[in-house]
Chain A
Amino acid sequence: MTKNAQNITKEDVQYIASLSRIHLQGEEVERLTKDLENILGYVHKLEKLDVRAVEPTSHVLPLANVYREDEVKPSLPQAEVMKTAAAPHNGFFKVPKVIQ
């Protein structure tokens, strides 16, 4: 991909789309190229800040590892959970052929 954020190409967009598992059609590619270019151009203002000595914050609460007792408890019945699937099959998720 091109390194300069303000210069996103259609090929970049196609590549990100494939990483995102989204199939884009014709004009969507052009619109998203323009949108991403604008938004990343705006985000570029963070360049002005020197953050080399700053710790990242991925979580705002001072939580360390949260443990619970390792006990068996009732869980949702499998049949209930599988009801939400697109193609349930004998308790499995059925998908298109993976190996040709």
Chain B
Amino acid sequence: MKLNELTAHELLDLLKAKKTTPREIRDAVLAGIARTDGQVKAYVRLRSKASGEQEPSGDVSMPIPIGIKDNICVTGEPTTCCSRILEGFKPPYDATVIQKLKGSGAQIIGSTNMDEFAFGSSTENSCYGPTRNPWDRDRVPGGSSGGSAAAVAGHEAIWALGSDTGGSIRQPASFCGVVGLKPTYGRVSRYGLIAFASSLDQIGPITKDVEDSALLLGIIAGYDERDSTSADLPVPDYTKALVNDVKGLKIGIPGEYFVEGIDPQVREAIDVAINVLETRGATFHEISLPHTGYATATYYIVATAEASSNLARYDGVQYGLRRQPLDTRKTPLIDMYEETRDAGLGSEAKRRIMLGTYSLSSGYYDDYYLKGLKVRTLIKQDFDKAFLKLDAIVTPTAPTTAFKIGEKSDDPLSMYLSDIYTISANLSGIPAISIPCGFSRDRLPIGLQILAKPFDEAMLFRVAYAYEQSTPWHKERAPV
């Protein structure tokens, strides 16, 4: 097996045994990119100067090559959210997660593709064009962190960072057959993550297996005074949760997640996964999360309202792109704002800014935004109640396997509904992981989602690891 096909923990074992070097691992990953990326297009740019050439200092522990979603700031490297409006933007500072990664000796390989400003579920809304699913090039990798998921599945990165506002780590992980974790809101600093919806956004790991997910979360998690919403709680050693034992754990199955719209093959795979965990000694309980059906509607009010406010800063003044129309329509200044935003923002970004502006506007605030925040309370209370008696909840990650490129791009609402199972974790702030749990008949990966109480990522790893150790799915490799 080639080095770039191994997991980070396998590579760390080889490094410790002096059977390979950081340089060899990096070269293997770059060779993987040269072989595969022409077709998959997981990266939008490779890092300009080779970070692997700086000799790792003595206390460097994990010199593993990593792909970074294009919305996480790296000093001096273009960071654009795959939007024309940020063309040429080079952040003058590192995101906290990047600082932590650099401290661990990580080799940053490049920036991965995404839906513009993370607005989408397919990575088709990128100003650089779509990424393709390594399992089937005619299909989407999911989104918005589709480039990161495809890079890991296609052996173009050992692991990667994504961001998850409504499922943007977990749904592409599901579509690409890899492990994707959305940590508890506040577990990982958002400093240097270009904001989409500040009350929902979290950075998280996309990896080949559960052990790598635990390792990478251990690197990036923790309190940061530069993000006042980060939680001042100690970071446990997550690898201690990898005990391969779920005996006596109480796990809930919410009936509302198994209704119309779910692909029968997805349903079957989830049922089989539940049986596996039951055989390992977990007990399953049918539960109800009664406000599930309102989550997507609530999300598209709350998330777009926050996005419309966060994206107001792209006005042709502070960042690169500026356009001035030839004629004067309103005043020269307002014309510049409007022309810049028309030229720099893609159609989904405009749609979401408009939706958010509408629900925040005078006369509509109470009926839309305030109502959304109240329903958000109900959705969160559903989970609070359920977790009084449960250790974890399992659901499918997405109702279907990866869809075809172009299949949903003309119908925004049907695209929004592909996040139907992932959105509630963001609205409630709870952690959730997607792990591979089988394949459809046409050999497309299916994902199992596990949810737990706030700050109980260890429980996710425990359940996910026990499942993984009982099944072969994480060993399957995409045909690249």
Contacts and interface: CB of A to CB of B under 8 A. Distances in A.
A and B bound?
A: yes
Interface of A: 1, 3, 5, 13, 16-25, 28, 31-32, 35-36, 38-40, 42-46, 49, 51, 54-61, 63, 66, 68, 76-77, 80-81, 83-87, 93, 95-98, 100
Contacts of A57: 373-374, 376-377, 380
A8 to B, nearest CB: 9
Given A51-B375, A93-B318, 10 more contacts: A1-B363, A16-B357, A19-B361, A20-B353, A20-B357, A22-B338, A23-B338, A46-B371, A85-B317, A98-B333
Interface stretch (B17-25, B144-152, B321-329, B457-465): B321-329
Contacts of A13: 354
A56 B341 contact: no
B317 A23 contact: no
Contacts of B297: 42-46
Question: Which of A51, A81, A86 has the largest number of chain B CB atoms within 10 A?
Answer: A86
Contacts of A32: 350-351, 354
A17 B380 contact: no
Closest 3 CB pairs of A and B: A60-B429, A56-B373, A23-B338
A64 to B, nearest CB: 11
B119 interface: no
B45 to A, nearest CB: 17
Interface in B176-227: 185-186, 199, 225
A25 B380 contact: no
B378 interface: yes
Interface of B: 89-93, 185-186, 199, 225, 228-229, 231, 291, 293-294, 296-298, 300-301, 308, 312, 315-322, 324-325, 329, 331-339, 341-342, 345, 347, 350-351, 353-355, 357-358, 361, 363-364, 367-368, 370-378, 380, 412-413, 416, 427-429, 454
A24 B229 contact: no
A83 B183 CA distance: 34
Given A39-B300, A84-B92, A93-B317, A56 B358 contact: no
A85 B318 contact: yes
Nearest to A52: B374
Contacts of B319: 84-86
A66 B315 CA distance: 30
Which applies to chain A's interface (DSSP): helix, strand, loop or mixed?
Answer: loop
A74 to B, nearest CB: 12
B92 A96 contact: no
Given A35-B351, A51-B378, A86 B228 contact: no
Given A66-B228, A76-B92, A51 B371 contact: yes
A82 to B, nearest CB: 9
Nearest to A34: B412
Nearest to A51: B374
B378 A60 contact: no
Contacts of A20: 308, 341, 350, 353-354, 357
A81 B312 CA distance: 19
A55 B377 contact: yes
A56 B374 contact: yes
A58 B294 contact: no
